[in-house]
Amino acid sequence: EIVVTQSPATLSVSPGERATLSCRASQSLDNYLAWYQQKPGQAPRLLMYGASGRAPGIPARFSGSGYGTDFTLTISSLQSEDFAIYYCQQYKNWPRTFGQGTKVEIK
């Protein structure tokens, strides 16, 4: 099973600042990685797929990068609605696995 590790566990950022979230896999994923955003009491929402492809309706301030084992989700200028938990998910191998999440909180 591929282990996906996210860091940091919590990221404190001021509105308008940049947030950089990391996702590292225990073996190469090529670019088979997705990112999700989850707000309290809500289901996760797909943000990115294929490491850098933005899902429909996702603002351009969200961007993804990386290949192999190291990936990054960047939020260029945090808006109030972006404070949430972010998960990455690998779909290179079975079973599909998620990272444990990074909580982006208001500084």
| Interaction site with other proteins (CB under 8 A) | 1, 32, 34, 36, 42-46, 49, 55, 87, 89, 91, 94-101
- For the bound state, the minimum distance from the C-beta of residue 74 to other proteins, rounded and expressed in Å, comes to 19
* Cβ distance to other proteins smaller for residue 84 or 89: 89
* Cβ distance to other proteins smaller for residue 1 or 17: 1
- For the bound state, the minimum distance from the C-beta of residue 39 to other proteins, rounded and expressed in Å, comes to 12
* Cβ distance to other proteins smaller for residue 1 or 70: 1
The CA distance from 11 to 92, in Å, is: 27
Which SS3 state, helix, strand or coil, does residue 81 take? helix
Listed in order, strand segments (DSSP E) in 1-107 are 4-7, 10-13, 19-25, 33-38, 45-49, 53-54, 62-67, 70-75, 85-90, 97-98, 102-106
